Structure 1
Amino acid sequence: MAAMRTGLMPNSSPPLTVPIRPAAAVGRPIVAAVILTAGLLSNIPVAQAASCSSSGPPADVNARPFNGGTLWVSRTGTVGISTADGTGSVQVPSASPIGLQALVVDARDDGRQQLIVSNGRVAHLYVLAGCQITAAVDPQGQPFLFDLENLRGNGTGIGCSDLGDGRHLVGLQALPDGAGYAVRRTEIDLDGATATIGRSDTVTGTSQQDPAVASALTISCGEQTMTQDGVQQP
Protein backbone atom coordinates (compact mmCIF):
# COMPACT_ATOMS: atom_id res chain seq x y z
CA MET A 1 0.00 0.00 0.00
CA ALA A 2 1.89 3.06 -0.71
CA ALA A 3 2.26 6.29 -2.34
CA MET A 4 1.51 8.52 -5.28
CA ARG A 5 2.15 11.45 -7.44
CA THR A 6 -0.08 13.92 -9.01
CA GLY A 7 -3.70 17.78 -11.28
CA LEU A 8 -7.16 18.50 -13.33
CA MET A 9 -9.57 17.65 -16.26
CA PRO A 10 -12.99 15.84 -17.91
CA ASN A 11 -13.51 13.36 -21.70
CA SER A 12 -15.22 13.94 -25.66
CA SER A 13 -17.64 16.84 -26.24
CA PRO A 14 -17.11 20.62 -26.23
CA PRO A 15 -14.54 21.56 -23.60
CA LEU A 16 -15.43 23.10 -20.29
CA THR A 17 -12.89 25.77 -19.53
CA VAL A 18 -11.79 27.01 -16.17
CA PRO A 19 -10.14 30.40 -16.49
CA ILE A 20 -6.71 30.80 -15.03
CA ARG A 21 -4.36 33.73 -14.86
CA PRO A 22 -0.97 34.47 -13.36
CA ALA A 23 -0.89 36.30 -10.05
CA ALA A 24 0.06 39.54 -11.79
CA ALA A 25 -3.24 39.48 -13.64
CA VAL A 26 -5.41 39.39 -10.51
CA GLY A 27 -8.04 42.10 -10.81
CA ARG A 28 -8.06 42.02 -14.63
CA PRO A 29 -10.59 40.08 -16.71
CA ILE A 30 -9.77 36.41 -16.57
CA VAL A 31 -8.44 35.05 -19.84
CA ALA A 32 -8.16 31.28 -20.32
CA ALA A 33 -6.28 28.42 -19.07
CA VAL A 34 -6.98 25.44 -16.71
CA ILE A 35 -9.30 23.47 -18.92
CA LEU A 36 -11.33 20.62 -17.66
CA THR A 37 -12.29 19.13 -20.92
CA ALA A 38 -14.22 16.22 -22.14
CA GLY A 39 -12.44 16.30 -25.47
CA LEU A 40 -8.73 16.06 -24.76
CA LEU A 41 -8.95 12.54 -23.40
CA SER A 42 -11.31 11.06 -25.96
CA ASN A 43 -9.33 7.82 -26.01
CA ILE A 44 -10.22 7.13 -22.37
CA PRO A 45 -13.50 5.21 -22.00
CA VAL A 46 -15.91 5.63 -19.13
CA ALA A 47 -14.81 3.37 -16.28
CA GLN A 48 -17.62 0.91 -15.66
CA ALA A 49 -18.63 0.02 -12.13
CA ALA A 50 -19.81 -3.46 -11.26
CA SER A 51 -22.71 -4.24 -8.95
CA CYS A 52 -21.90 -4.93 -5.33
CA SER A 53 -21.15 -8.52 -4.44
CA SER A 54 -21.08 -10.48 -1.21
CA SER A 55 -17.52 -11.66 -1.80
CA GLY A 56 -14.48 -9.81 -0.57
CA PRO A 57 -11.58 -8.46 -2.60
CA PRO A 58 -9.38 -10.78 -4.69
CA ALA A 59 -6.19 -12.17 -3.18
CA ASP A 60 -3.71 -10.06 -5.18
CA VAL A 61 -4.50 -6.65 -3.71
CA ASN A 62 -3.00 -3.89 -1.67
CA ALA A 63 -5.56 -2.56 0.79
CA ARG A 64 -6.09 0.09 3.43
CA PRO A 65 -9.04 0.82 5.72
CA PHE A 66 -11.04 4.03 5.35
CA ASN A 67 -13.97 5.40 7.33
CA GLY A 68 -16.67 2.87 6.44
CA GLY A 69 -14.73 0.06 4.83
CA THR A 70 -11.57 -1.07 3.09
CA LEU A 71 -10.13 0.39 -0.12
CA TRP A 72 -8.15 -1.95 -2.34
CA VAL A 73 -6.34 -2.06 -5.69
CA SER A 74 -5.54 -5.28 -7.58
CA ARG A 75 -2.63 -6.13 -9.87
CA THR A 76 -4.94 -5.99 -12.88
CA GLY A 77 -6.09 -2.42 -12.21
CA THR A 78 -9.37 -3.15 -10.46
CA VAL A 79 -10.12 -0.67 -7.68
CA GLY A 80 -12.69 -1.60 -5.08
CA ILE A 81 -14.21 -0.97 -1.70
CA SER A 82 -15.43 -3.58 0.75
CA THR A 83 -18.03 -2.34 3.24
CA ALA A 84 -20.76 -3.75 5.48
CA ASP A 85 -23.05 -3.54 2.41
CA GLY A 86 -20.79 -5.68 0.24
CA THR A 87 -17.94 -5.21 -2.20
CA GLY A 88 -18.01 -2.85 -5.16
CA SER A 89 -15.30 -2.53 -7.78
CA VAL A 90 -14.41 -0.73 -10.98
CA GLN A 91 -11.87 -1.51 -13.69
CA VAL A 92 -9.98 1.72 -14.22
CA PRO A 93 -8.73 2.31 -17.78
CA SER A 94 -5.09 3.35 -17.99
CA ALA A 95 -2.42 3.54 -20.69
CA SER A 96 0.14 4.87 -18.22
CA PRO A 97 3.21 2.84 -17.23
CA ILE A 98 2.73 4.16 -13.70
CA GLY A 99 0.69 1.98 -11.35
CA LEU A 100 -2.68 3.16 -10.12
CA GLN A 101 -3.05 4.87 -6.77
CA ALA A 102 -6.36 5.42 -5.00
CA LEU A 103 -7.61 7.54 -2.11
CA VAL A 104 -11.04 7.89 -0.46
CA VAL A 105 -11.88 11.42 0.72
CA ASP A 106 -14.85 13.30 2.15
CA ALA A 107 -14.32 16.58 0.31
CA ARG A 108 -17.17 18.52 1.95
CA ASP A 109 -16.79 16.81 5.32
CA ASP A 110 -20.48 15.89 5.16
CA GLY A 111 -20.30 12.09 5.16
CA ARG A 112 -20.50 11.78 1.37
CA GLN A 113 -17.29 10.18 0.16
CA GLN A 114 -15.39 10.37 -3.10
CA LEU A 115 -12.77 8.09 -4.61
CA ILE A 116 -9.82 9.54 -6.53
CA VAL A 117 -7.83 7.12 -8.71
CA SER A 118 -4.64 8.37 -10.37
CA ASN A 119 -2.33 6.84 -12.94
CA GLY A 120 0.18 9.69 -12.64
CA ARG A 121 -1.15 11.35 -15.81
CA VAL A 122 -4.85 11.78 -15.08
CA ALA A 123 -7.05 11.14 -12.07
CA HIS A 124 -10.52 9.59 -12.27
CA LEU A 125 -13.20 10.79 -9.86
CA TYR A 126 -15.91 8.52 -8.42
CA VAL A 127 -18.64 8.99 -5.83
CA LEU A 128 -19.32 6.34 -3.19
CA ALA A 129 -22.61 5.24 -1.65
CA GLY A 130 -22.51 2.13 0.51
CA CYS A 131 -20.57 -0.33 -1.63
CA GLN A 132 -21.51 1.37 -4.91
CA ILE A 133 -18.83 3.14 -6.97
CA THR A 134 -20.15 5.56 -9.60
CA ALA A 135 -17.95 7.42 -12.08
CA ALA A 136 -18.33 11.20 -11.91
CA VAL A 137 -19.30 12.84 -15.20
CA ASP A 138 -19.46 16.38 -16.53
CA PRO A 139 -22.83 17.98 -17.46
CA GLN A 140 -22.54 16.43 -20.94
CA GLY A 141 -22.24 12.96 -19.42
CA GLN A 142 -18.55 12.52 -20.21
CA PRO A 143 -16.05 11.15 -17.63
CA PHE A 144 -14.74 13.84 -15.32
CA LEU A 145 -10.95 13.62 -15.21
CA PHE A 146 -8.24 15.68 -13.57
CA ASP A 147 -5.14 16.41 -15.63
CA LEU A 148 -2.04 15.69 -13.57
CA GLU A 149 1.43 17.21 -13.41
CA ASN A 150 0.44 19.84 -16.00
CA LEU A 151 1.12 17.32 -18.75
CA ARG A 152 -1.59 18.98 -20.85
CA GLY A 153 -1.17 22.40 -19.30
CA ASN A 154 -4.31 22.03 -17.23
CA GLY A 155 -3.41 21.20 -13.64
CA THR A 156 -0.85 20.00 -11.16
CA GLY A 157 -2.78 18.73 -8.16
CA ILE A 158 -6.04 18.05 -6.36
CA GLY A 159 -7.05 19.31 -2.94
CA CYS A 160 -9.92 20.28 -0.65
CA SER A 161 -10.31 24.00 0.07
CA ASP A 162 -12.92 26.52 1.20
CA LEU A 163 -13.20 29.27 -1.42
CA GLY A 164 -16.04 30.99 0.41
CA ASP A 165 -18.98 28.59 0.68
CA GLY A 166 -17.55 25.65 2.59
CA ARG A 167 -14.92 23.08 1.80
CA HIS A 168 -15.04 21.51 -1.68
CA LEU A 169 -12.88 19.35 -3.86
CA VAL A 170 -10.64 21.67 -5.88
CA GLY A 171 -8.45 21.31 -8.93
CA LEU A 172 -5.07 22.97 -8.49
CA GLN A 173 -2.58 24.43 -10.93
CA ALA A 174 0.75 25.88 -9.79
CA LEU A 175 2.57 27.97 -12.41
CA PRO A 176 5.81 29.95 -12.09
CA ASP A 177 5.11 33.68 -12.51
CA GLY A 178 8.57 35.25 -12.30
CA ALA A 179 8.32 36.21 -8.64
CA GLY A 180 7.43 32.73 -7.43
CA TYR A 181 4.28 30.75 -8.18
CA ALA A 182 0.64 31.51 -8.86
CA VAL A 183 -1.67 28.74 -7.67
CA ARG A 184 -5.09 28.60 -9.28
CA ARG A 185 -7.74 26.84 -7.18
CA THR A 186 -10.93 25.75 -8.97
CA GLU A 187 -13.91 24.43 -7.04
CA ILE A 188 -15.57 21.21 -8.19
CA ASP A 189 -19.27 21.03 -7.33
CA LEU A 190 -20.82 17.57 -7.11
CA ASP A 191 -24.55 17.00 -7.54
CA GLY A 192 -24.82 13.25 -7.19
CA ALA A 193 -22.32 11.98 -9.74
CA THR A 194 -22.41 15.14 -11.90
CA ALA A 195 -19.36 17.36 -11.48
CA THR A 196 -19.46 21.01 -12.52
CA ILE A 197 -16.95 23.83 -12.30
CA GLY A 198 -17.53 26.32 -9.50
CA ARG A 199 -15.76 29.43 -8.30
CA SER A 200 -12.01 29.86 -8.49
CA ASP A 201 -9.29 32.06 -7.08
CA THR A 202 -5.53 32.54 -7.21
CA VAL A 203 -3.06 32.44 -4.32
CA THR A 204 0.68 32.95 -4.51
CA GLY A 205 3.76 31.21 -3.15
CA THR A 206 7.45 31.98 -3.24
CA SER A 207 8.81 28.51 -4.03
CA GLN A 208 7.87 24.84 -4.31
CA GLN A 209 8.46 24.57 -0.56
CA ASP A 210 5.71 27.11 0.14
CA PRO A 211 2.73 25.17 1.60
CA ALA A 212 0.29 26.56 -0.99
CA VAL A 213 2.57 25.52 -3.84
CA ALA A 214 3.57 22.17 -2.34
CA SER A 215 -0.06 21.17 -1.85
CA ALA A 216 -0.83 22.13 -5.46
CA LEU A 217 1.77 19.64 -6.68
CA THR A 218 0.16 16.60 -5.09
CA ILE A 219 -3.21 15.02 -4.25
CA SER A 220 -4.54 15.68 -0.77
CA CYS A 221 -7.67 16.49 1.21
CA GLY A 222 -7.29 18.00 4.66
CA GLU A 223 -4.80 15.86 6.55
CA GLN A 224 -4.97 13.05 4.00
CA THR A 225 -2.45 12.70 1.19
CA MET A 226 -2.22 10.19 -1.60
CA THR A 227 1.35 9.44 -0.56
CA GLN A 228 0.57 8.67 3.08
CA ASP A 229 -3.03 7.48 2.97
CA GLY A 230 -3.61 6.13 -0.54
CA VAL A 231 -3.35 2.59 -1.90
CA GLN A 232 -0.80 1.69 -4.58
CA GLN A 233 -1.43 -0.92 -7.28
CA PRO A 234 0.70 -4.01 -6.48
Structure 2
Amino acid sequence: MISDFSEVMYFDEDKFTQYYSVISDEGNIDWKTIQKTKGSNMGTGTKLINANKGSTYTYEGELKKSILKLAQKFEEAINSNDYFVDFSEMSDRDPNYLTKDMIIKFESDLLLPKEFESILLLSDTREYGEKKLVEDFDDESLKMFGHMLKIKEPKTPYTFEIKDRIGVLKLEEKNYIHKEEFEEFEDDNFTIIGKVINPKNNQKKEYFDPMKDFFQMSRAVRRMIITENNNEYPEGLRKLYMNEDYLMLQPIIILH
Protein backbone atom coordinates (compact mmCIF):
# COMPACT_ATOMS: atom_id res chain seq x y z
CA MET A 1 0.00 0.00 0.00
CA ILE A 2 1.07 3.58 -0.59
CA SER A 3 2.67 4.97 2.56
CA ASP A 4 1.23 8.00 4.35
CA PHE A 5 4.70 9.50 4.16
CA SER A 6 5.27 9.03 0.43
CA GLU A 7 5.81 12.16 -1.64
CA VAL A 8 4.00 12.58 -4.95
CA MET A 9 6.43 13.58 -7.69
CA TYR A 10 4.17 13.31 -10.73
CA PHE A 11 0.39 13.34 -11.06
CA ASP A 12 -1.62 13.21 -14.30
CA GLU A 13 -4.89 14.67 -13.07
CA ASP A 14 -6.72 14.12 -16.38
CA LYS A 15 -5.84 10.43 -16.59
CA PHE A 16 -6.45 9.93 -12.88
CA THR A 17 -9.95 11.43 -13.10
CA GLN A 18 -10.76 9.44 -16.23
CA TYR A 19 -9.71 6.08 -14.80
CA TYR A 20 -10.99 6.69 -11.28
CA SER A 21 -14.47 7.48 -12.61
CA VAL A 22 -14.46 4.06 -14.32
CA ILE A 23 -13.28 1.95 -11.37
CA SER A 24 -15.30 3.72 -8.66
CA ASP A 25 -18.93 4.65 -8.16
CA GLU A 26 -18.16 8.32 -7.65
CA GLY A 27 -18.36 9.39 -11.27
CA ASN A 28 -16.26 12.04 -12.92
CA ILE A 29 -15.46 14.22 -9.91
CA ASP A 30 -13.17 17.24 -9.86
CA TRP A 31 -10.83 16.04 -7.13
CA LYS A 32 -8.65 19.12 -7.22
CA THR A 33 -10.84 21.35 -5.09
CA ILE A 34 -14.12 21.23 -3.22
CA GLN A 35 -15.96 24.55 -3.22
CA LYS A 36 -17.71 25.59 -0.02
CA THR A 37 -20.89 27.59 -0.62
CA LYS A 38 -23.64 29.28 1.37
CA GLY A 39 -26.99 27.57 1.52
CA SER A 40 -29.16 25.05 3.31
CA ASN A 41 -28.15 22.49 5.90
CA MET A 42 -27.00 20.22 3.06
CA GLY A 43 -24.52 22.84 1.86
CA THR A 44 -20.82 22.95 2.70
CA GLY A 45 -20.76 26.49 4.08
CA THR A 46 -19.02 26.86 7.43
CA LYS A 47 -20.71 29.07 10.08
CA LEU A 48 -18.72 30.76 12.80
CA ILE A 49 -20.43 32.44 15.78
CA ASN A 50 -19.01 35.48 17.51
CA ALA A 51 -19.53 34.76 21.23
CA ASN A 52 -19.51 38.42 22.26
CA LYS A 53 -22.07 39.77 19.83
CA GLY A 54 -23.86 36.60 18.79
CA SER A 55 -23.13 37.38 15.15
CA THR A 56 -23.10 34.56 12.61
CA TYR A 57 -20.81 34.55 9.58
CA THR A 58 -20.64 32.18 6.64
CA TYR A 59 -17.23 31.87 5.02
CA GLU A 60 -16.57 30.61 1.53
CA GLY A 61 -13.33 28.97 0.52
CA GLU A 62 -11.67 26.00 -1.14
CA LEU A 63 -10.78 22.78 0.60
CA LYS A 64 -7.63 21.48 -1.06
CA LYS A 65 -7.49 17.73 -1.55
CA SER A 66 -4.20 16.02 -0.75
CA ILE A 67 -2.82 14.43 -3.92
CA LEU A 68 -1.28 11.70 -1.77
CA LYS A 69 -4.72 10.87 -0.36
CA LEU A 70 -6.09 10.73 -3.88
CA ALA A 71 -3.32 8.30 -4.85
CA GLN A 72 -4.20 6.10 -1.89
CA LYS A 73 -7.89 6.30 -2.76
CA PHE A 74 -7.12 5.28 -6.34
CA GLU A 75 -5.09 2.28 -5.18
CA GLU A 76 -7.83 1.24 -2.77
CA ALA A 77 -10.50 1.46 -5.46
CA ILE A 78 -8.58 -0.53 -8.07
CA ASN A 79 -6.99 -3.10 -5.77
CA SER A 80 -9.72 -5.69 -6.34
CA ASN A 81 -9.99 -5.09 -10.08
CA ASP A 82 -8.92 -7.95 -12.37
CA TYR A 83 -7.16 -5.45 -14.59
CA PHE A 84 -4.81 -4.34 -11.79
CA VAL A 85 -1.46 -5.97 -10.99
CA ASP A 86 0.69 -4.84 -8.06
CA PHE A 87 4.28 -5.91 -8.72
CA SER A 88 5.46 -4.05 -5.61
CA GLU A 89 3.72 -6.66 -3.43
CA MET A 90 5.83 -9.60 -4.59
CA SER A 91 3.36 -10.55 -7.30
CA ASP A 92 4.01 -13.85 -9.08
CA ARG A 93 2.62 -12.38 -12.31
CA ASP A 94 4.93 -12.40 -15.31
CA PRO A 95 5.24 -8.90 -16.84
CA ASN A 96 5.71 -10.54 -20.22
CA TYR A 97 2.04 -11.54 -20.14
CA LEU A 98 0.43 -8.22 -19.36
CA THR A 99 -2.37 -7.06 -21.63
CA LYS A 100 -3.24 -3.68 -23.07
CA ASP A 101 -5.10 -1.25 -20.75
CA MET A 102 -4.10 -3.01 -17.53
CA ILE A 103 -3.22 -0.77 -14.58
CA ILE A 104 0.03 -1.77 -12.89
CA LYS A 105 1.96 -0.67 -9.82
CA PHE A 106 5.66 -1.35 -9.41
CA GLU A 107 8.92 0.00 -8.05
CA SER A 108 11.82 0.94 -10.29
CA ASP A 109 14.39 3.60 -10.95
CA LEU A 110 13.77 5.86 -13.93
CA LEU A 111 16.64 6.40 -16.32
CA LEU A 112 16.95 9.21 -18.83
CA PRO A 113 18.25 7.73 -22.12
CA LYS A 114 21.73 8.98 -23.00
CA GLU A 115 20.55 9.71 -26.54
CA PHE A 116 18.13 12.24 -25.10
CA GLU A 117 20.82 14.35 -23.46
CA SER A 118 21.85 15.88 -26.80
CA ILE A 119 18.21 16.83 -27.40
CA LEU A 120 18.12 18.67 -24.08
CA LEU A 121 21.22 20.57 -25.11
CA LEU A 122 19.51 21.62 -28.33
CA SER A 123 16.51 22.91 -26.42
CA ASP A 124 18.75 25.05 -24.20
CA THR A 125 20.15 27.19 -27.00
CA ARG A 126 18.27 29.96 -28.75
CA GLU A 127 20.39 29.40 -31.85
CA TYR A 128 18.80 25.98 -32.31
CA GLY A 129 16.10 27.05 -34.75
CA GLU A 130 18.45 29.06 -36.94
CA LYS A 131 21.56 26.88 -37.00
CA LYS A 132 20.25 23.34 -36.63
CA LEU A 133 17.10 23.28 -38.68
CA VAL A 134 16.52 26.36 -40.80
CA GLU A 135 19.94 27.68 -41.71
CA ASP A 136 19.03 27.62 -45.40
CA PHE A 137 15.57 29.19 -45.03
CA ASP A 138 14.67 32.81 -45.78
CA ASP A 139 13.81 35.38 -43.12
CA GLU A 140 10.07 34.69 -43.25
CA SER A 141 10.67 30.98 -42.75
CA LEU A 142 12.92 31.74 -39.78
CA LYS A 143 10.16 33.76 -38.17
CA MET A 144 7.65 30.98 -38.82
CA PHE A 145 9.88 28.30 -37.33
CA GLY A 146 10.82 30.51 -34.39
CA HIS A 147 7.13 30.64 -33.54
CA MET A 148 6.53 26.93 -34.08
CA LEU A 149 9.50 25.84 -32.00
CA LYS A 150 8.25 27.44 -28.78
CA ILE A 151 7.97 24.43 -26.51
CA LYS A 152 4.81 24.50 -24.40
CA GLU A 153 4.41 21.03 -22.93
CA PRO A 154 7.45 18.87 -23.76
CA LYS A 155 7.54 15.16 -23.01
CA THR A 156 10.60 13.45 -21.58
CA PRO A 157 11.32 9.70 -21.99
CA TYR A 158 12.43 7.44 -19.15
CA THR A 159 13.17 3.73 -19.08
CA PHE A 160 12.33 1.34 -16.24
CA GLU A 161 12.43 -2.36 -15.41
CA ILE A 162 9.89 -4.81 -13.96
CA LYS A 163 11.49 -8.16 -13.19
CA ASP A 164 14.07 -7.65 -15.96
CA ARG A 165 11.34 -6.54 -18.36
CA ILE A 166 12.34 -3.25 -19.95
CA GLY A 167 9.75 -0.50 -20.28
CA VAL A 168 9.38 3.10 -21.41
CA LEU A 169 7.18 5.97 -20.26
CA LYS A 170 6.94 9.65 -21.20
CA LEU A 171 6.49 12.36 -18.59
CA GLU A 172 4.68 15.59 -19.46
CA GLU A 173 6.01 18.86 -18.11
CA LYS A 174 2.63 20.05 -16.82
CA ASN A 175 2.16 17.02 -14.54
CA TYR A 176 5.26 17.35 -12.38
CA ILE A 177 4.52 18.13 -8.75
CA HIS A 178 8.13 18.46 -7.59
CA LYS A 179 10.29 18.41 -10.71
CA GLU A 180 13.55 19.54 -9.10
CA GLU A 181 13.26 16.92 -6.39
CA PHE A 182 12.30 14.31 -8.97
CA GLU A 183 15.47 15.00 -10.95
CA GLU A 184 17.55 14.77 -7.78
CA PHE A 185 16.06 11.33 -7.01
CA GLU A 186 16.49 9.91 -10.53
CA ASP A 187 18.86 7.21 -9.33
CA ASP A 188 16.44 6.11 -6.59
CA ASN A 189 13.51 3.74 -6.79
CA PHE A 190 10.08 5.25 -7.41
CA THR A 191 6.64 3.79 -6.90
CA ILE A 192 4.86 4.04 -10.24
CA ILE A 193 1.21 3.52 -11.14
CA GLY A 194 0.35 3.54 -14.82
CA LYS A 195 -1.68 2.05 -17.63
CA VAL A 196 -0.22 -0.37 -20.16
CA ILE A 197 -0.41 1.19 -23.62
CA ASN A 198 1.36 -1.63 -25.41
CA PRO A 199 2.63 -4.71 -23.50
CA LYS A 200 5.16 -5.60 -26.19
CA ASN A 201 6.20 -2.81 -28.53
CA ASN A 202 8.47 -4.07 -31.30
CA GLN A 203 12.01 -2.78 -31.04
CA LYS A 204 11.63 -1.52 -34.62
CA LYS A 205 8.98 0.90 -33.37
CA GLU A 206 10.51 4.12 -32.05
CA TYR A 207 9.74 4.89 -28.43
CA PHE A 208 10.42 8.61 -28.78
CA ASP A 209 10.28 11.11 -31.64
CA PRO A 210 12.06 14.30 -30.48
CA MET A 211 10.50 16.55 -33.09
CA LYS A 212 7.00 15.31 -32.25
CA ASP A 213 7.18 14.50 -28.53
CA PHE A 214 9.60 17.11 -27.24
CA PHE A 215 9.55 20.01 -29.70
CA GLN A 216 5.87 19.39 -30.52
CA MET A 217 6.15 20.04 -34.23
CA SER A 218 3.17 19.24 -36.41
CA ARG A 219 3.39 16.54 -39.05
CA ALA A 220 3.59 19.17 -41.79
CA VAL A 221 6.52 20.91 -40.10
CA ARG A 222 8.34 17.63 -39.51
CA ARG A 223 7.96 16.69 -43.15
CA MET A 224 9.27 20.07 -44.25
CA ILE A 225 12.35 19.74 -42.04
CA ILE A 226 13.07 16.21 -43.24
CA THR A 227 12.64 17.26 -46.87
CA GLU A 228 15.08 20.16 -46.39
CA ASN A 229 17.56 17.69 -44.84
CA ASN A 230 17.73 15.35 -47.85
CA ASN A 231 14.78 13.28 -46.60
CA GLU A 232 16.54 12.39 -43.37
CA TYR A 233 16.04 13.36 -39.76
CA PRO A 234 18.55 16.04 -38.68
CA GLU A 235 21.47 14.86 -36.57
CA GLY A 236 20.52 14.96 -32.91
CA LEU A 237 16.79 14.84 -33.66
CA ARG A 238 16.47 11.30 -34.89
CA LYS A 239 13.91 8.90 -33.45
CA LEU A 240 14.97 6.82 -30.45
CA TYR A 241 14.76 3.01 -30.46
CA MET A 242 15.28 0.22 -27.95
CA ASN A 243 17.51 -2.79 -28.53
CA GLU A 244 14.70 -5.18 -27.62
CA ASP A 245 10.91 -5.34 -27.46
CA TYR A 246 9.60 -3.16 -24.66
CA LEU A 247 6.54 -2.32 -22.57
CA MET A 248 5.00 1.11 -23.23
CA LEU A 249 3.36 2.69 -20.16
CA GLN A 250 1.09 5.70 -19.60
CA PRO A 251 2.19 7.10 -16.19
CA ILE A 252 -0.59 8.23 -13.85
CA ILE A 253 1.10 8.69 -10.47
CA ILE A 254 4.77 8.57 -9.45
CA LEU A 255 5.79 8.64 -5.79
CA HIS A 256 9.06 8.64 -3.92
Shorter-chain TM range is under 0.3
Flag the structure with higher helix content.
2
Larger Rg: 2
Flag the structure with higher strand content.
1
Structure 2 length-normalised TM: 0.24
Structure 1 length-normalised TM: 0.25
